[in-house]
Structure 1
């Protein structure tokens, strides 16, 4: 039984990056705050918080916030000025959800992420000849690598764009960036695959990519982090590499948004990759962001990225196998429907 007050627990969690409201947003819908007035209720509160944030239960019962020893090391990859401490909460939530999903996912991990051409071939095999968000995600799930969307983290929680974590010797890809564009999220997934294939996780239990989407920082040359350069190159190679760059480099610098969209569709058919990726490659090479973003909006096939990720999760995860106390959180944060 806990000897501390609920107020002490909530106050100490502020140092972990979570307000009282954000913590309560992670608790089950049936949780009654009146229970926090009794010792038994506080003990139950500690159990719930411990499970949802991967915190040491014994320490939490004493009012201390400490991650479990089994959580492993985390390497934060910075491309913007963000303190690692501000991402503790999002990382902890992602890790707890990943553990819940891995425990319920029987498909064994098949470590076949070796080279970019092989990954592209696997994606085309399951994607009717097309490399894109849906086919990359399906290839991951087929190899025993869950891909978890986290669009609904508590309001105000500072989140990363993507991450890859090792849970019970199995990599899990996390995508918490909110974008409707398939091309944006596909690059995040491909980048995390690059970390797996390049062996970066041998030196860290988790790699958290703080920001992969800044206009001036998409290309590998923008960071001095060797692992980020390798993951970027791997991701770009999955999507055609130098061949794509040669094609989009030849497009006129005065092309309109409609022309960019048309050229992307034409090239995508020949290359077997999603058209949105060519638009993004053109944007990063030409720096013509307004025209390129307008071109993406002309591509109806580049929309509904979040729905694609949720559908894949819903199809591959048997919620009945997820522990009872975590089912609601998995559904709430990922956005999938309860069974």
Structure 2
């Protein structure tokens, strides 16, 4: 084993799964790792342990020459695709995110409370403590109900990714959001969509992976989760702007904030704008530009992980796991 157990051999073996050397070095190995250790079998053995632990890999398969690398056993995922003809699923991204979900659950001291299956009831519960259903108030609600929420998108390049994931741990679910967008409005909808899956009983154990969250999905459960999210965020004001046209994003923003919001004080302006863009595809870019005009609209992923960092018991983790989570989550 001493002749074959080198870090270069492990890098080569893992490359076939899309885990390139740069990614392994940054996220798989601790910061104290030195390349002078790459050809020292006992050090490589320790390094392999960190890689296996961080990436959910079966250590024996990683160390055995000629054996294919295997990931640790996970519940069979329930993939949700916008295009059912596309048979490729984000297996590697899901595996890496599932490990992050496991670690989040390990550091979370929360108890899951059953959700109402009615979006209006949940909306009223949130509004009893907050002015609107925003990303902040929705995060508050999830954590208060024993639902851990995190953002994770630090994947190797060139692998298929996903928008959202729900993973049941032993006693509570973990939601991982992973889309590349940054607008709070989009993350609010994504989180409301995943909450809809839980409230409507679409996942009672295992893992559900939303490969995309699209407004016009042809999947029945996706449609139900979308309808749940729309009612949760907008009450009865879905498509409130109808086919109304605006000269530019500034006028759209001004109309929503100055004319509509005074009449709809419990609705977020960015929710109305995003909803308008989804109902009017030819105006989607205008709606996105309007979201950019609104202040505090482009830090959604940071806000999600700020809540996560504040709710985790970091003392539960080893130094190396603590370091991995800090890098992986960007906190």
TM-score, shorter chain, exceeding 0.5: yes
Give yes or no for contact 1:151–1:335 (8 Å, CA) kept in 2.
no
Checking the alignment, whether the CA contact within 8 Å between 1:101 and 1:322 is kept in structure 2 is no
1:112 aligns with 2:106: no
Residue of structure 1 equivalent to 2:144: 142
Find the counterpart in structure 1 of residue 245 from structure 2: 253
CA gap 1:30/1:118 in 2 versus in 1, 3 angstroms: farther
The match for 1:244 among 237, 240, 248 is: 237
Q: Residues 99 and 283 of structure 1: is their aligned pair in 2 closer, same or farther, counting only changes over 3 Å?
A: same
Shift of 1:5: 4.1
The 1:84/1:122 distance shift into structure 2, 3 A limit, reads farther
**Contact 2:133/2:233 (<8 A) preserved:** yes
- After superposing on structure 2, the runs of 4+ consecutive aligned residues of structure 1 that deviate more than 6 Å are none
1:330 partnered with 2:325: yes
Give the equivalent residue in structure 1 for 2:210.
Answer: 209
Tell me which residue corresponds to 1:20.
21
In the alignment, structure 1 residue 281 sits paired with structure 2 residue 285: no
Task: Give how far 1:255 is off.
Answer: 4.8
- Residue 273 of structure 1, CA deviation: 2.4
Give deviations 1:227-268, integer Å, cap 9, x for gaps.
212211211121125x2225221x622453223213322434
* Structure 1 match to 2:135: 133
Asked if the contact 1:258–1:295 (Cα under 8 Å) also holds between the matched residues in 2, the reply is yes
- Superposition map of 1:60-99 within 5 A: 60-62=62-64, 63-69=67-73, 71-79=74-82, 84-85=88-89, 87-99=90-102
Question: In 2, distance between residues paired with 1:83 and 1:12?
Answer: 25
Secondary structure in structure 1 of the residue aligned to 2:237: helix
Given the superposition, is the C-alpha separation of residues 83 and 311 from structure 1 closer, same or farther in structure 2, using an over 3 Å criterion? same
**TM-score normalised to the size of structure 1?**
0.86
Distance 1:149 1:328 in 2: 16
Secondary structure, in 3 states, of the residue corresponding to 2:212? coil
CA contact (8 A) 1:187 1:235 kept: yes
Alignment of 1:310 with 2:327, yes or no, is no
> Number of residue pairs matched?
323
Distance in 1 (CA, whole Å) between partners of 2:12 and 2:125 is 48
| RMSD after superposition | 2.4
Q: Deviations for 1:294-335, whole angstroms, at most 9, x for unmatched residues? A: 221221143322332122112211212223331111111211
Corresponding residue SS for 1:200: coil
8 Å CA contact retained: 1:268, 1:278: no
**CA distance in structure 2 between the partners assigned to 1:260 and 1:39 by the alignment:** 63
* Distance in 1, Cα, partners of 2:220 & 2:112: 26
Match of 1:321 among 308, 316, 321: 316
Could you list the runs of 5+ residues in structure 2 that have no partner in the other structure?
none
SS of residue in 1 equivalent to 2:117: coil
SS at match of 1:247: coil
> Would you tell me which structure has more helix in proportion to its own residues?
1
Unaligned runs of 5+ residues in structure 1 are 213-217
Is the partner of 2:241 in helix, strand or coil?
A: helix
